[in-house]
Structure 1
Amino acid sequence: MTACLDITNLSATLSGGQRVLRSVSLTVEPGEVRALVGESGAGKSMIGKAVLGVLPPSVKIVEGSIRLEGTDLGALPARERRRVIGAKTALIPQDPLTALNPSRRIGPQMTDRLVHILGWTADRADSRVRQLLDEVHIRDPDRVMRAYPHELSGGMRQRVLIAAAFAAEPRLIVADEPTTALDVTVQKQILRLIAQLQKEHGTAILFVTHDLGVVAKISQKVTVLYAGKVVEEADTATLFANPAHAYTRALMAATPKYTDPQASLKPVDDAVLAGLAAEIAVADHDWRPNLHGGQARG
Structure 2
Amino acid sequence: MSFLQIQDLTVRLRNGPPLLRRVSLGVEAGDVRALVGESGAGKSMIGKAVLGILPRAAEVSEGRILLEGEDLQTLSPKARRQRIGAKVALIPQDPLTALNPSRRVGPQITDRLVDILGWKRPAAEARALELLEEVHIQEPGRVMKAYPHELSGGMRQRVLIASAFAAEPKLIIADEPTTALDVTVQKQILKLIREMQQRHGTALLFVTHDLGVVSKIAQSLTVLYAGKVVEDTAVRSFFAGPSHAYSRALLAATPRYTDPDGSLTPVPDSVVAEVNREIAAFDVTMKEGGQP
Taking structure 1 as the reference length, what is the TM-score of the superposition? Answer: 0.96
Q: Which residue of 2 aligns with 1:47?
A: 46
Moved more, 178-187 or 113-122: 113-122
Partner of 1:115: 114
Number of the residue aligned with 2:279: 280
C-alpha separation in 2, matches of 1:127 and 1:4: 30
Q: Does 1:230 align with 2:229?
A: yes
Per-residue CA distance 1:171-219 (angstroms, 9 max, x = gap): 1000000011111111110011011111110000000000000000000
- Whether 1:137 and 2:136 are equivalent positions in the alignment is yes
Range with bigger deviation, 262-271 or 110-119: 110-119
How far off is 1:113 after superposition? Answer: 1.3
- The alignment partner of 1:139 has SS state of coil
Q: Aligned-pair distance for 1:117?
A: 2.2
What secondary structure does 2:9 align onto?
strand
- Counterpart contact for 2:89–2:169, Cα < 8 Å: yes
CA distance in 1 between partners of 2:142 and 2:108 (Å): 14
Between the aligned partners of 1:242 and 1:288, the Cα distance in structure 2 is 33
The residue aligned with 1:265 is 264
Kindly tell me the number of residue pairs found equivalent between the two proteins: 291
Do 2:112 and 2:166's aligned partners in 1 also have CA atoms closer than 8 Å? no
Q: Trace 1:1-298 onto structure 2 (pairs within 5 A).
A: 2-288=1-287, 296-297=289-290
Q: Separation in 2 of the partners of 1:188 and 1:41?
A: 24
Shift of 1:288: 2.8
Q: For 1:287, what is the secondary structure of its paired residue? A: helix
Q: Deviation of residue 160 (structure 1)?
A: 0.2
Q: Aligned Cα RMSD in Å? A: 1.0
Local SS of the residue matching 1:286 = helix
Deviation, structure 1 residue 118: 2.1
Which consecutive unaligned segments of at least 5 residues does structure 2 have?
Answer: none
Q: 1:16 Cα shift?
A: 3.3
Deviation at 1:69, TM superposition (A): 1.0
Q: What letter matches 1:235 in structure 2?
A: A
Is contact 2:10–2:20 with CA below 8 Å preserved after alignment? yes
Structure 2 contact 8–22 (Cα < 8 Å) conserved? yes
- 1:20-50 deviation line (CA, Å, top 9, x unaligned): 0000000000000000000000000000001
Alpha-carbon displacement from aligned partner over 1:109-136 (angstroms, at most 9, x marks no partner): 1111111122211112111111110100
Which one-letter code corresponds to 1:297 in the other structure?
A: G
> Quick one: distance in 2 between partners of 1:128 and 1:51?
27
- Residue identity opposite 1:94 in structure 2: Q
Structure 1 consecutive aligned stretches of length 4 or more whose deviation exceeds 3 Å:
none
**Aligned partner letter, 2:265:** K
- CA distance in 2 between partners of 1:219 and 1:186 (Å): 19
Partner of 1:173, secondary structure, is strand
Tell me which amino acid in the other structure corresponds to 1:205: L
In 2, Cα distance between the equivalents of 1:214 and 1:236?
Answer: 11
